């Protein structure tokens, strides 16, 4: 079958297409109704189907003779340790941990928050929730108490699962004090916390509330899989919106399982029994989908890597893992490969390993810049596949379908829409644009299985944020165009979301934190281009009258405030006190122009500008402080 045939069938006959794909899963009750609207008027997939995602990820493979095959390989250069789990071993550990959660009162529909480093217990906790029909909400370990608190209050978890620490290269980061601080700040108090004690740090436990992982397992019976409806939630994953609190993307069970299983073959060309490695973190959607769920749903072996692309111990770390475990396809963010390229531009480390097992490199999380694409392509002489997706969709919207029909790639393009996604480029009035013209990348409804049906406890935010602007379409928030050959080029966000080292952050959220500093009257946070991380944020601060501290002290305090509240991953390393912020006469801060100034791009001040002198002042300050492109001279 050609890509075109596969894609066209998914658009012309979506129900037949997805019925076929769904039939390869071991449902408890096969769905009869493939697509129907829910009470909110949102199209939902497989509405009367019953299944259990953990059963499909583990038990079914054991029933089919894969019990002794490796399911998960944990490789941790930061602790110098390795561990492997067969499907049977993983199922047994998951069932027991599910029993421990059940003993603490966790049942179908309850939420469990998982705040863990890249240890296999994170996957065990996620799968245990799925086994019980409970809803997990994994919070990335790099987030600080402020971010954790917001998620605790929104998800209202019955239990939190965490670890005593994470390890960043050689730095041990205690997690438990951050968790305690977040729970102190939160209005909702979880009933229990289960803490994995790691040998690097012994966490202090609060009697009555906290249990050690092993203690939680004492006297526990393994739990069975609880049947859930296809439309029941599997997890909530928070992501940055334009402003305000992060939004809880809801993933259902049925559509997710069908889409992810399909994607393993269609997009990644991975067959049961083969080894797949997504070098990401379980705290991000890539980790949910392609470290944990998809490889297991497809009966593959997944690599669980606790380390960095560089410095653990060197720029050959990725190549060592690929060669040690015979990885067939690797998936990571461009920023990771830029970090490797910076340390090993000639690719000498690559030549130290036998990488004949590797067939394809997949990249996502941010635009794959052509220099990184070309470096990888020339070094490996293998397909280098950029594919575009979002937390909201849970799997790729555009990709090169290597398992259906691999087509030539084009630098800077994520290739073609994935089957199920009717991608259109819309102008400001919502009219479809022809090839070659840039606009809002949108998806004609219904979205395919696996995509979000709502925002957790805030359906109106889903409607207002994605569906209202152009009725009948999902608006992705990215801008781009199709070229004359139908290749999709994703050019960047059209809102306040920025992408820092593959991590999605909102300048609006960062402004809320910066603005909470007692000396700050108003502020603007802008994302500026960075050779390694793609983008990094910079804060411009206007101080309240009468502040008698030195500017440099306030700037340092703001940097620390963001680190303590949002986390080190925000990478806010520069804050600048300015006299005034450039605004329009109606008071709107000219963020886009500030961004252009920092990046050294041409700009035209709008006719509505309040005072053009302010732009001159800010430019001079950025130049003096070597912000963005001014650092390059």
* Residues contributing to the site for ligand COA (CB under 6 A): 117, 141-142, 166, 168, 173, 280-281, 284, 286, 308-310, 332-333, 335-336, 339, 364-365, 501-502, 568-569, 571
User: Applying CB under 6 A, does 366 fall inside the site for ligand AMP?
Assistant: yes
Q: How far is the CB of 392 from ligand AMP (least distance, A)?
A: 7
- Scanning 198-206, 358-366, 467-475, 535-543 for contacts with ligand AMP by CB under 6 A, the matching segment is 358-366
User: Applying CB under 6 A, does 496 fall inside the site for ligand AMP?
Assistant: no
Contacted by 280, from ligand AMP, ligand COA, none: CB < 5 to 8 Å by type: ligand COA
Rounded CA gap, 373 and 380, in Å?
Answer: 11
- Scanning 47-55, 66-74, 195-203, 359-367 for contacts with ligand AMP by CB under 6 A, the matching segment is 359-367
Q: Which of 75, 386, 496, 599 binds ligand AMP (CB under 6 A)?
A: 386
Contact present, 365 and 499 (Cβ < 8 Å):
yes
DSSP per-residue letters across 40-86:
TS-EEESTT-EE-HHIIIIIHHHHTT-TTSEEEEEEETTTTEEEEEE
Q: In what order do the strands lie in the sheet with 384-386?
A: 81-86, 70-76, 301-305, 275-278, 329-332, 360-363, 384-386
Q: Which of 268, 276, 375, 388 binds ligand AMP (CB under 6 A)?
A: 388
Q: Which is nearer to ligand COA, 354 or 531 (CB)?
A: 531
Q: Which of residues 469-488 bind ligand AMP (CB under 6 A)?
A: 477-478
Q: How far is the CB of 290 from ligand AMP (least distance, A)?
A: 12
Q: If DSSP codes are grouped into helix, strand and coil, which group holds residue 352? A: helix
Contact present, 482 and 441 (Cβ < 8 Å):
no
Q: Which of residues 239-298 bind ligand AMP (CB under 6 A)?
A: 239, 285
Rounded CA gap, 291 and 123, in Å?
Answer: 9
Contact present, 425 and 481 (Cβ < 8 Å):
yes
* Residue in this structure with the two tokens 């299944």, named with its chain if needed: 51
* Residue in this structure with the two tokens 């089919």, named with its chain if needed: 64
User: Applying CB under 6 A, does 151 fall inside the site for ligand AMP?
Assistant: no
Q: Where is 440: in which H helix or E strand? A: strand 439-444
Q: Which is nearer to ligand AMP, 86 or 413 (CB)?
A: 413
Q: How far is the CB of 167 from ligand COA (least distance, A)?
A: 9
Contact present, 134 and 162 (Cβ < 8 Å):
no
Contacted by 333, from ligand AMP, ligand COA, none: CB < 5 to 8 Å by type: ligand COA
Q: Which is nearer to ligand AMP, 384 or 561 (CB)?
A: 384
Q: Which is nearer to ligand AMP, 45 or 466 (CB)?
A: 466
Q: How far is the CB of 204 from ligand COA (least distance, A)?
A: 19
Contacted by 175, from ligand COA, ligand AMP, none: CB < 5 to 8 Å by type: none
Contact present, 277 and 331 (Cβ < 8 Å):
yes
Rounded CA gap, 22 and 53, in Å?
Answer: 13
What Å distances lie between residue 147 and 178, 254, 255, 497, CA to CA? 10, 29, 29, 16
Contact present, 384 and 391 (Cβ < 8 Å):
no
Rounded CA gap, 145 and 56, in Å?
Answer: 34
Q: How far is the CB of 2 from ligand AMP (least distance, A)?
A: 23
Rounded CA gap, 52 and 225, in Å?
Answer: 6
- Scanning 156-164, 172-180, 293-301, 385-393 for contacts with ligand AMP by CB under 6 A, the matching segment is 385-393
Q: If DSSP codes are grouped into helix, strand and coil, which group holds residue 452? A: coil
DSSP per-residue letters across 583-619:
BBTT--B-HHHHHHHHHT------TTBS-HHHHHHHH
Q: Which is nearer to ligand COA, 10 or 332 (CB)?
A: 332
Q: Which of residues 554-613 bind ligand AMP (CB under 6 A)?
A: none
Q: Which is nearer to ligand AMP, 143 or 389 (CB)?
A: 389
Q: How far is the CB of 363 from ligand COA (least distance, A)?
A: 8
Q: How far is the CB of 425 from ligand COA (least distance, A)?
A: 25
Q: Which is nearer to ligand COA, 66 or 504 (CB)?
A: 504
Q: Which of 364, 401, 424, 525 binds ligand AMP (CB under 6 A)?
A: 364
Q: Which of 162, 391, 415, 574 binds ligand AMP (CB under 6 A)?
A: 391
Residues forming the site for ligand AMP (CB under 6 A): 239, 285, 364-368, 386-391, 414, 477-478, 490, 493, 499, 504
């Amino acid at each position: 079958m050609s890509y075109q045939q596969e894609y066209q069938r998914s658009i012309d006959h979506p129900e037949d297409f997805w019925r076929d794909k769904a039939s390869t899963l071991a449902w408890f009750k096969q769905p009869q109704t493939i697509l129907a609207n829910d009470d909110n008027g949102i199209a939902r997939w497989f509405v009367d189907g019953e299944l259990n995602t953990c059963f499909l990820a583990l038990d079914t493979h054991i029933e089919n003779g894969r019990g002794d095959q490796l399911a998960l390989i944990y490789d941790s250069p930061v602790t110098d340790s390795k561990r492997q789990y067969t499907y049977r071993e993983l199922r047994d550990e998951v069932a027991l941990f599910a029993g421990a959660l059940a003993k603490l009162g966790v049942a179908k529909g309850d939420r469990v928050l998982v705040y863990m480093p890249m240890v296999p217990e994170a996957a065990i906790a996620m799968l245990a929730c799925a086994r019980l029909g409970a809803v997990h909400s994994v919070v990335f370990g790099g987030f600080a108490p402020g971010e954790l608190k917001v998620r605790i209050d929104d998800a209202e978890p019955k239990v939190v699962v965490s670890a005593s620490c994470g390890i960043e290269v050689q730095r041990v980061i205690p997690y438990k004090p951050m968790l305690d601080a977040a729970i102190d700040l939160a209005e909702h108090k979880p009933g229990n916390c289960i803490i994995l004690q790691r040998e690097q740090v012994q966490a202090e436990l609060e009697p009555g509330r906290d249990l050690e992982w092993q203690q939680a397992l004492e006297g526990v019976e393994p739990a069975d899989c609880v049947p859930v409806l296809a439309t029941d939630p599997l997890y909530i994953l928070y992501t940055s919106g334009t402003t305000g609190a992060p939004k809880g993307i809801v993933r259902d069970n049925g559509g997710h399982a069908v889409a992810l299983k399909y994607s393993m073959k269609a997009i990644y060309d991975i067959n049961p029994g083969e080894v797949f490695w997504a070098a990401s973190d379980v705290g991000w959607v890539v980790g949910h989908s392609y470290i944990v769920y998809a490889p297991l749903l497809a009966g593959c072996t997944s690599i669980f890597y606790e380390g960095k692309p560089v410095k653990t111990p060197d720029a050959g770390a990725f190549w060592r893992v690929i060669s040690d475990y015979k990885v067939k396809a690797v998936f990571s963010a461009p920023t990771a490969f830029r970090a490797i390229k910076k340390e090993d531009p000639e690719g000498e480390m690559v030549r130290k390993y036998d990488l004949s097992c590797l067939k394809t490199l997949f990249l996502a999380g941010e635009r794959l810049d052509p220099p990184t694409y070309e470096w990888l392509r020339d070094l490996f002489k293998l397909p280098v596949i950029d594919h575009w997706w979002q937390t909201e969709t849970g799997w790729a919207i555009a990709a090169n379908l290597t398992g259906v029909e691999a087509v030539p790639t084009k630098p800077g393009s994520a290739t073609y829409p994935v089957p199920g996604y009717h991608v259109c480029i819309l102008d400001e009035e919502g009219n479809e644009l022809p090839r070659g013209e840039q606009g809002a990348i949108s998806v004609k409804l219904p979205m395919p299985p696996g995509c979000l049906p709502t925002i957790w406890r805030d359906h109106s935010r889903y409607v207002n944020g994605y569906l209202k602007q152009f009725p009948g379409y999902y608006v992705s928030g990215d801008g781009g165009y199709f070229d004359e050959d139908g290749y999709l080029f994703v050019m960047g966000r059209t809102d306040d979301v920025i992408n820092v080292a593959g991590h999605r952050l909102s300048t609006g959220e960062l402004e809320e934190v910066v603005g909470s500093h007692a000396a700050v009257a108003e502020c603007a946070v802008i994302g500026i281009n960075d050779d390694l991380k793609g983008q990094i944020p910079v804060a411009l601060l206007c101080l309240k009258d009468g502040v008698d501290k030195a500017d440099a002290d306030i700037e340092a305090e703001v940097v620390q405030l963001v680190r303590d509240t949002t986390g080190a991953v925000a990478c806010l390393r520069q804050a600048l006190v300015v006299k005034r912020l450039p605004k329009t006469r109606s008071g709107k801060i000219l963020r886009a122009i500030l961004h252009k100034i920092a990046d050294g791009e041409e700009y035209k001040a709008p006719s509505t500008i309040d005072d053009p002198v302010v732009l001159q002042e800010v430019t001079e300050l950025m130049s003096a402080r070597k912000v963005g492109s001014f650092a390059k001279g």
